[in-house]
A = this chain, B = another copy of it.
Amino acid sequence: MIRQVKQPGLRLIPLGGLGEVGRNMTLLEAEGKILIMDMGFRMPEEDMPGIDYIVPNISCLKGKSKNIVGVVFTHGHYDHIGAVPYLLPKIWHPGLQMYASPLTKGIIIKRQEDFTDQPPLNINEIGDGSKIKLGPFEVEFFKQNHNIPDNFGLFVQTPVGNIVNTSDFKFDSTPVNDLPTNFQKLEEFGKRKVLLLMCDSTGAEEENHSLSEKDIEKNLDEILAKASGRVFAATFASLINRIQQIVTLSEKYGRRVCLEGYSMKTNVELCRALGYIKAKKGTFIASKDALRLPDNKVTVLCTGAQGEGSAVLMRIALREHPVFRLKKGDDVILSSSVIPGNERTVQVLKDSILRQGVRVFHYKMMDIHAGGHAQQDELKEMIKLMNPQFFLPIHGQYSMLAANKDLAGDMGITEERVYVGENGDVINITSKGFSVEKDKVPSNYVMVDGLGIGDVGEVVLRDRQMLAKDGMFVVVVVVDKQTGRVKGSPDIISRGFVYLRESKDLLRETRKRVIGIINHATMAGGAVNWSYLKDEVRNKVGQFLFTKTQRRPIVIPVVIEV
């Protein structure tokens, strides 16, 4: 399947985004120079408690910072820009140039304000058709439709041939606040000969064509047309196009719009300042002013469509919001699909709202959320337009990458011209073929937890999982240095295991056993192997607690000699 090619050429290294959703980052290396495409993070898995984000592992760049000629960003979603504050300090040097569209730049710089220890960033603005030369690479940016404005695909001329990176995209002939897909331009790229197509795979398992934003607008319009009370519309703060739609429709029906949620407010503010969200004067009002308006003149645009506990909509649903209380006659719109893993919290959210006699509209009932990603028909169209020599599915779970490979197969791209890769692969590309090196670069998770980047690893995570499951059990024993015998009664400290107050017998018996183990071991006199003895206490207490409760708390013996 993989042709062995020996000539020197181009190295492509995906550091994230393959076999996962998010954490998109890819390196291109030629003539000793490195170009970085995107720097995203991803959200942690459910079994990673306490972790905030996962960022790409850039240890393969150690000592090579000077070779990095630039970082280019496709668009302003966090899975493409979110790792900047965590990674950039490690690779930054004065020759490193960054390029992004005005909106993407605005979002990166706004976020950077949260990281007060970092200097402000200098980012070069690009637009449709911009061409930049970065070492051996020439990058041309081309507009692609998505659910955020100012999204760009990359046409990269390299010493071995042209590479197209589609960025996240969909084909939309009736987009919001944006021009329709420019198929002529795409055709032109195809004619210039594409050596490698790196293609978004997120929608590769979905049949047909993605919905146009226009269709969504029609459905949202229907809800707003009928609404006789307030409308609470929740979506992601990053879905700028959806936000625009709700603003426009509110204006159509004479509604003022209140913004609720920190990220919603800052994003709308930024987008309005840059002209990416358009609204009439007076459309936006403060929430407290909404209380003086008739209900059918108010739209509340807020975060929390995923049922996040701390986000606005959940606080409104739980009647904990400082301004808004739901009442019969209100309508709630959840205008985002449910992210895998959030099904239960969304259900809780829906139920809390329904219990108050309020109607809930969600994407399962009608199309009020369009994915931002090309589906099977569009992906095939893209492959046809680009007619690449080689095909590399990017962005998505392995099943999505594999589905995209099948689509390429349908379009005549034979199996040996496709590579379904993994993060950390080192792919050597020449004009004639590609090969994958036997050794991968490190691509394992780098976890962000609070201020720590990468300091929480497998061991700490496993401890957290164990602590979560059965809690902890600390036994503190004071031992007389002279006699080796336990002084007094051992202290027991436990959390997350049992109610201590209701488990007095269990604790009494545990203490007795601990005293027995230690006194027995020290009885003979002579040197005591405390490390061994602690293990003994740990094992025997653990076993005893398991027999009595079928639970396995982390048992920690502390021995103090006095």
Contacts and interface: CB of A to CB of B under 8 A. Distances in A.
A46 B49 contact: no
A371 B392 CA distance: 38
A231 B450 CA distance: 46
B474 A467 contact: no
Q: How many copies make up the complex?
A: 2
Given A354-B398, A360-B399, A499-B459, A474 B493 contact: yes
A461 B498 CA distance: 10
A460 B562 contact: no
A468 B460 contact: no
B468 A468 contact: yes
A550 interface: yes
Q: Is the interface of A mostly helix, strand, loop or mixed?
A: mixed
A527 interface: no
Contacts of A351: 19, 397-399
A499 B455 contact: yes
A462 to B, nearest CB: 9
B469 A472 contact: no
B554 A495 contact: yes
A106 interface: no
Nearest to A21: B347
Size class of the contact patch on chain A: 35 or more
A474 B556 contact: yes
A87 interface: no
A68 B376 CA distance: 60
Interface string A312-351: 0000000000000000000000000000110110010011
B502 A455 contact: yes
B493 A562 contact: no
Given A341-B344, A344-B46, A496 B355 contact: no
B355 A464 contact: no
Contact of A450 (B459, B476, B550, B554): B550
A4 interface: no
A282 interface: no
A502 B454 CA distance: 11
B464 A468 contact: yes
Given A19-B351, A344-B340, A491-B560, A464 B471 contact: yes
B399 A350 contact: yes
18 contacts: A46-B46, A50-B469, A205-B364, A340-B347, A350-B397, A350-B399, A351-B398, A354-B402, A449-B551, A450-B551, A455-B498, A456-B498, A460-B497, A464-B467, A467-B468, A474-B556, A476-B476, A560-B560
